[in-house]
Structure 1
Amino acid sequence: MTFTEEIKRRRTFAIIAHPDAGKTTLTEKLLLFGGAIQTAGAVKSNKIKKSTTSDFMEIEKQRGISVSTSVMAFDYKNYKVNILDTPGHEDFAEDTYRTLSAVDSVIMVIDCVKGVEPQTRKLLEVCRMRNTPVIVFINKLDREGQNAFDLLDEIEKELKIKVRPMTWPIGIGKSFKGVYNLTQSSLNLFEGDNKTTLGETITIKDINDPLIDKRVGSDFATQLREDVDLIDGVYDELNVQKYLDGQISPVFFGSAVNNFGIHELLDCFVEIAPFPKERDTDNGIIAPENPKFSGFIFKIHANLDPKHRDRIAFLRICSGKFERNKYYFNVREKKELRFSNPTAFMAQQKSVIDEAFPGDVIGLYDAGNFKIGDSLTEGASFQFKGIPSFSPELFRYVTNMDPMKTKQLQKGLEQLTDEGVAQLFTKKVDGRKVIGTVGALQFEVIQHRLKSEYNASASFDQINLYKALWISSTDKKKLDAFMQDRNAHIAFDKEERPVFLAESPWLLQMAQEKFPDIQFHLKSEF
């Protein structure tokens, strides 16, 4: 297979949703249908003992939520599919936003009972910033939910995006009979009692085929025909180019937990979803066909395998071919690095690879050389754009609960904050450690991981802070004078850059007015 063919067969996408919409369950079923796993796990289940492939961290299994993006890859119909399952909970939004910089398209899951939810809106805004193509999967049709037309209206109104139904539900909840494939004139029937095998798929001549009446009943058949007439009158045919430009979203209906509607979604996705596209850098556009390798780090994960205490950097390949044991250039560090064990992922499980192509996401064992946003090239010096970093919103003092484990705590804090889930600051006046996050649940996750992965105990104590802002000035004397004047409010980040800890908006405004030559930055890159 040629280099260009390898690029064009790749589909790299993220699954996004509000918490509990069924995102991780959908991921699991896509892996099942793609032949990547033999048995689907459950996020929360009394009957199914296997947990999901993507929720592999201990706290994820306990809480039944995703707290970290996981990467899975499989082959389907000669396509190479790379799935990134993202956290839905808003407290882990930073991980999700960064992941969206590493994908070419998105599948958005919406709960048919709850409709469009707050986190769905936020995530779609990020997609719209990049014109990322979005396919919608309306989930949980086996439950009593909203009318399908009402859901489509809500999506168009709330998310400000045009839609085109590709499949259509027959009934809902207890009366759910199946879905009609609008593009292939086929009927996928629902088997209500069997939760693990697919229902029957029937090919019919057209929407007026009497076989529909025979299989779902005349009332449901009549309603289906009326719905299809309305769909054809109200919604435009799917224009693939408009989908690729992020202007229209194909919509599929189904029930991920019952394996329903997944096949139609997957078949359409690999056909129309974009293959890897060009990427913007501070030195111009980089095309995937460029023979010189380049890529960027969008995530770092410590202790992916707790037994080996490894640290993995997630690399999205943007151009050229990555080869094992070849030297590549870390642009920020200006250092050549060689990787003897680059890995492909199935969440926590890894396999060593010899080569990878644009669109692929691979893992690089990292001894502390990488930071989120780093570019890796074949010698060229440029940085990829569009990898966001956020100023923390919540802050806590770190108190060591076991002085005998001080080194373990320090190592744990360093490695976990390298992942980008939190910022670590050290106060200038007394050396106290301050952790800043974008969500309260992050503190619980960090505390749990410190204990389980580093055997370190810490408590997080309240600190009254409004913002942590990086400070700079063209006049070093004035910067020194400011730091002296505000000594009790100065801290340093992990790179030893000075940070101003503002206790209130008023105190920040006072500092800005009194020291006009000091610049205050909400991001660490300036």
Structure 2
Amino acid sequence: MSVDTAGAARQEAEVSREAGRRRTFAVISHPDAGKSTLTEALALHAAAISSAGAVHGKGDRRGVTSDWMEMEQDRGISITSAALRIDYSDRVLNLVDTPGHADFSEDTYRVLSAVDCAIMLLDSAKGLEPQTLKLFDVCRARRMPVITFVNKWDRPGREPLELLDEIEQRIGLRPTPLNWPVGIAGDFRGLIDRSSGTYTKMTRQPGGATKALEEVLDADEAARVEGAEWVQAQEEIELLEALGADFDHDSFMAGESSPVLFGAALPNFGVGQLLEAVVGLAPAPAAKADAGERARPVEAAFSGQVFKMQANMDKNHRDRMAFVRVSSGRFDRGMVLTHAATGRPFATKYSQAVFGSERSTIDTAFPGDVIALVNAQALSVGDTLYDGPKVEFPPIPSFAPEHFVVARAKDAGKYKQFQRGIAQLDAEGVVQVLTSDVRGEQAPVLAAVGPLQFDVVRHRMEQEFRAPVETSPLDYSVARRTDAESAPALHALSGAEVLRRRNDGELLVLVHNKWRLRVIEREHPGLFMEPLLAGGVVEGD
């Protein structure tokens, strides 16, 4: 074996070994289910932070590690996804916290293209909510394994068996609890591990800023301490065993069943058990299909895909950062990669690992890792970077927008700043920017999933680009893809307008509402109008 061949074999073995240590996952849920609090609690249990910033609700949550944007801290909501890299138990966990508010769904959909597993977070009182259902549909379309965490068990809520039944009946996912609570929701005593039968009694620490006290009791002592609550929990576990609700690895990996854990993120109850489940059950990175549907093994030369763009995370530097999920090979800081979209070289001198708003230089990365490349003006969401022979991954679909406004600069003298800011927000995917010869570049149409995205645009245009904008709503609620042959006829119809999406050149026809769309389809069947994709799920599915 030659020296070069031996070196290549050693690197492939290293990449395979390191990929096996990675777990890359996202947390998804409905707003207010506690995603950012859970993210903090996981980081706390992994000893990545010394204390949690979530204390008594969102108004006081100024120290949340993943909510770094000023608007997030002011409003107490997650607006943009945040990547957290955590070393734990000989594993590297890449946790991507995602926005929960429905208006910021598109950021969540992009993130789901970059992870291998999802934690589905449920509120113990509310169960499955609309946003959770919508996001789960994307996971199901991608056959992504899902771990369920029933949160807020320290507050009044529903019966645990009722929640399991809802999961199975509404989304067809067979729940297989790994642990079981002692005490009803609102009177959380501790957790029984179903595999070992051990009972962990939990005591809340003041404020929930540090780990809860945990005491392991044997069955006899637990029965003496917990009394009737212990008896009830044992009866419910016997029922689960009779129903065959036991964890099955194959059905979990196929997206047919979901291991379920109970806990409460705010007081840090059950978070350690969830962390162990992620380490033990979530899949390691695997081969990814390229644009030609060829599986690219993790041991191949470096390749990665941009799943998120973010500018001005650091107010002192005003830079533009590309978040790249490593798909294959070893990344070394300073290597010169190729940008698949242009064929041009891309230098990686400034590469970083990101922990919320905290940054640190990263010298090496492996499949499953998320690296942040600084000063990435040439990159956009969905772009592929590679080393060696060319590879390109399928683009990340854009979400179907439902809200539209015209944006104009308040100060005509700041037109250049206006154009630069709009282009930046378009590249980041904050909104989709649509233009036409009729409207001109000075009055682009902004398209979004929800109206709060326009609040982000107005805030960032004023604060970051010093180019305040005014927006005027348009009376459209439906967008469809069209082509150059059908565009003139569609544009001439009442209640419709054709514009070009700036980031990819696609022609979109905007229609007042679904009723008008049906009329157009009925009266003009020869005109091309195709539903847009939403993260792998066709709109209307």
TM-score by length of 2: 0.89
Q: How does 1:447-458 map to 2 (within 5 A)?
A: 447-458=458-469
Residue number in structure 2 paired with 1:308: 317
Residue 417 of structure 1 is matched in structure 2 by 426
User: How far apart are 1:299 and its partner, in Å?
Assistant: 0.9
- Distance, in Å, in 2 between the alignment partners of 1:143 and 1:307 is 42
| Matches of 2:517 and 2:150, distance apart in 1 | 47
Do structure 1's residue 211 and structure 2's residue 221 form an aligned pair?
yes
**Corresponding position of 1:435:** 446
Deviation of the 1:118 alpha carbon: 0.7
Counterpart-to-counterpart distance in 2, 1:16 and 1:43: 21
Match for 1:12 among 14, 24, 28? 24
Partner Cα separation in structure 2 for residue 437 and residue 109 of structure 1 = 25
1:376–1:213 CA distance, 2 compared to 1 (3 A): same
> Is the Cα contact below 8 Å between 1:188 and 1:199 reproduced in 2?
no
Which residue type is aligned with residue 222 of structure 2? I
Alignment-derived partner of residue 501 in structure 2: 493
Q: What's the CA shift for 1:285?
A: 3.0
Give the corresponding residue for 2:139. 127
> What residue is the counterpart of 1:80 in the other structure?
92
Alignment of 1:142-157 (within 5 A): 142-157=154-169
C-alpha contact 1:278 1:285 (8 A) present in aligned 2: no
Q: Using the alignment, how far apart are the partners of 1:515 and 1:491 within structure 2?
A: 20
SS at match of 1:32: helix
Farther-moved stretch of structure 1 (450-459 vs 379-388): 379-388
Q: 2:271 aligns with which of 252, 262, 271?
A: 262
Q: Report the equivalent of 2:413.
A: 404
Q: Cα distance 1:199–1:492, how it changes in 2: closer, same or farther (>3 A)?
A: closer
Query: Structure 2: how far apart are the matches of 1:115 and 1:97?
Result: 21
1:34-433 mapped onto 2 (5 Å cutoff): 34-42=46-54, 45=57, 50-192=62-204, 194=206, 195-205=208-218, 209-216=219-226, 218-385=227-394, 387-431=396-440, 432-433=443-444
The secondary structure found in structure 1 opposite 2:148 is strand
Deviation of 1:10 after TM superposition, in Å, equals 0.3
2:475 matched residue in structure 1 = 464
CA deviations 1:393-441 (Å, max 9, x no partner) are 1110112222232222221111011111211122312412111111111
Give the SS at the match of 1:299. strand
Do the aligned partners of 1:300 and 1:371 also contact (CA within 8 Å) in 2?
yes
Which secondary structure does the structure 1 equivalent of 2:334 belong to?
coil
1:515 is displaced (CA, Å) by: 9.6
Quote the residue 2:8 is aligned against: none
**Aligned equivalents of 2:418, 2:55: Cα separation in 1:** 31
More off after superposition, 44-53 vs 250-259: 44-53
Q: For the structure 1 residues 235 and 306, does the alpha-carbon distance in structure 2 shift closer, same or farther, using more than 3 Å as the test?
A: farther
Quickly say closer, same or farther: Cα 1:461–1:362, change in 2 above 3 A: same
Deviation at 1:306, TM superposition (A): 2.3
Q: Which structure 2 residue ranges, 5 or more long, are not aligned?
A: 1-12, 536-541
1:118 partner letter: P
Task: Kindly provide the CA deviation profile for residues 184-206 of structure 1, in whole angstroms up to 9, marking residues without a partner as x.
Answer: 3322223256334444434445x
Q: 1:26 to 1:49 in 2, by over 3 A?
A: closer
Percent identity reads 37
Give the deviation of 1:467 after TM superposition: 4.0
Q: 1:200 to 1:185 in 2, by over 3 A?
A: farther
Number of residue-to-residue matches in the alignment:
517
Higher mean C-alpha deviation, range 51-60 or range 425-434: 425-434
What CA distance in whole angstroms lies between the structure 2 residues aligned with 1:444 and 1:377?
Answer: 36
Q: State the secondary structure of the residue aligned to 1:149.
A: helix
Which whole-Å CA distance do the structure 1 matches of 2:61 and 2:122 have between them? 26
Residue pair 2:148, 2:259 contacting (<8 A) in 1 also:
yes
Q: Conserved in 2, the CA contact under 8 Å of 1:21 and 1:109?
A: yes
How big is the alpha-carbon RMSD for the aligned residues of Structure 1 and Structure 2?
2.7
Seen in structure 2, the aligned counterparts of structure 1 residues 390 and 199 have a Cα distance that, compared at 3 Å, is closer
CA distance in 2, matches of 1:513, 1:381: 46
Are residues 378 and 197 of structure 1, via their aligned partners in 2, closer, same or farther at CA, if it must alter by over 3 Å?
closer
1:450-492 deviations in Å (ceiling 9; x for gaps):
122112211211212244445434xxxx579659968994434
SS at match of 2:294: strand
Counterpart residue identity of residue 154, structure 2: D
CA gap 1:427/1:288 in 2 versus in 1, 3 angstroms: same
Secondary structure (helix, strand or coil) at the match of 1:408 reads helix
Q: CA deviation at 1:382?
A: 3.5
Distance 1:319 1:502 in 2: 39
For residue 223 of structure 2, what is the amino acid of its counterpart? D
CA distance in 1, matches of 2:213, 2:288: 43
For residues 336 and 163 of structure 2, what CA distance do their matches in structure 1 show? 51
CA positional deviation for 1:501: 4.2
CA distance in 1, matches of 2:504, 2:27: 36
Show CA shifts across 1:284-337 (max 9, x none). Answer: 333443331111111111112122111111111111111211111111111111
